[in-house]
Amino acid sequence: LLTLAIETSCDETSAAVVRNGREVLSNIIYSQIDLHKLYGGVVPEIASRNHVEKISGVIDEALRAAGCTFEEVDQIATTYGPGLVGALLVGLSTAKALAFSLGKPLIPVNHIEGHVAANYIAHPDLEPPFVALIVSGGHTHLVKVVDYGHYEILGKTRDDAAGEAYDKVARALGIGYPGGPQIDRLARLGNRTAIPFTRTYLDQDSLDFSFSGLKSAVLSYLNQMKMKGEPIVIEDVAASFQEAVVDVLTDKAVAAALRSQVKTLVLAGGVAANSRLREVLDLKTKANGLRMLYPPIELCTDNAAMIGCAGYYAYKNGHIADMTLNAVPNLTLDLPAF
Ligand code: ATP
Ligand code: MG
Ligand code: FE
């Protein structure tokens, strides 16, 4: 079964061809990062307009790279939420037009489910149940994946997402957008114990997160140093901030896996690319007898291959949309997928 998948929820225009869920025949990603860098973050209107310009070419390229034609594709999968409404609508409308004109099923995919599914591509033997730590630009979730398409949310952020905290701290440090990769790189040169930023664990036993306090602590540290006229070592700030994020994420993720009595913990979303997060999770999961999995970097951030994979399982679960399918900017994982 061949799935043509389309992803335009934020600032990547992407199309992929995936065979039977886990075999990626092509995965074309056009990133708009350079356009948004100028503004220090994603500008929704620019994102939508750029998706419109790029989507047809990206789809053609995905088919060419996979060596197949529109007629050979069995179904069209598309992200319909969560994300920026204008950006989502570009991929969604394109998918609807293709499904309608080709007479093929239209499969609605939750973007966050896609991030989790990136692990199915990377690890052919991975099967539910497992616990997923989903850390992306807009989400921070601990989820028990009970079965394909069946999720129990164990915890989530009460304010900022982890990636959002990275991006905001990076902006305050003046190191550009997106901040995650920059902080990751700088942190390797810094001292992780230089500044004791507080770790927010919330109530005992809570698997929820909060990152806005940490973000404010970094901002106020930077202000204080400036007022005192003392030098700021940005490598140390990056390393100390990152260590605070990673400590809390990894402690709660391991606790969630143990409490859920699963043997496997998977990491998903853009922040899953973070080298220190992977390193500490490896250590803590090993110490607790858990198997730790994460996708390769190119499948961590937004891409259509992960949507094609999730779309395959959505189809198997009977999730087929009609032409009334609309974008759902605040779609969540625990609502019935469709
Ligand atoms: P969502 O998936 O929640 O809708 P999104 O699609 O914008 O949001 P992703 O593309 O999954 O988010 O991830 C982008 C985020 O990942 C950004 O916040 C970016 O800073 C962060 N990120 C990317 N690489 C790294 C890294 N090496 N370390 C930390 N964060 C990173
Ligand atoms: Mg992006
Ligand atoms: Fe994403």
Question: How much is the pLDDT for 335?
Answer: 72
What is the sign, positive or negative, of the torsion defined by CA atoms of 338, 162, 180, 11? positive
What distances in angstroms separate CA 221 from CA 58, 180, 215, 237, 243, one per listed residue? 44, 19, 10, 9, 16
C-alpha closest to that of 297 among 262, 268, 337, 335: 268
pLDDT for 232 beyond 90: yes
Helix (H, G, I), strand (E, B) or coil at 220: helix
Check: CB of residue 314 under 8 Å from CB of residue 338.
Answer: yes
Q: For residues 115 and 268, give the distance between their C-alpha atoms in angstroms, rounded to a whole number.
A: 5
**What region, left, alpha or beta, does residue 180 occupy, with left being phi > 0 and alpha being psi -120 to 50 degrees?**
alpha
pTM summary value:
0.96
Cα of 33 vs centre of ligand 2, distance in Å, is 7
Q: Residues 138, 285, 251, CA angle at the centre, nearest 5°? A: 50
The verdict on the CB of residue 13 being under 6 Å from ligand 1 is: no
Which helix (H) or strand (E) covers residue 155, if one does?
strand 150-156
Q: Is 138 in the pocket of ligand 1 (CB under 6 A)?
A: yes
Whether residue 247 contacts residue 241, with contact meaning beta carbons closer than 8 Å, is answered with no
Q: What is the mean pLDDT of residues 176-198?
A: 96
List pLDDT tens digits, range 29-55. Answer: 999 999 999 898 899 999 999 999 999
Closest residue (by CA) to atom 1 of ligand 1?
Answer: 138
Gap between the Cα atoms of 119 and 169, Å rounded: 28
List, for residues 153-167, the tens digit of each pLDDT value: 999 999 999 999 999
Mean pLDDT calculated for residue range 243-258:
98
The number of the ligand 1 atom at minimal distance from the alpha carbon of 112 is: 2
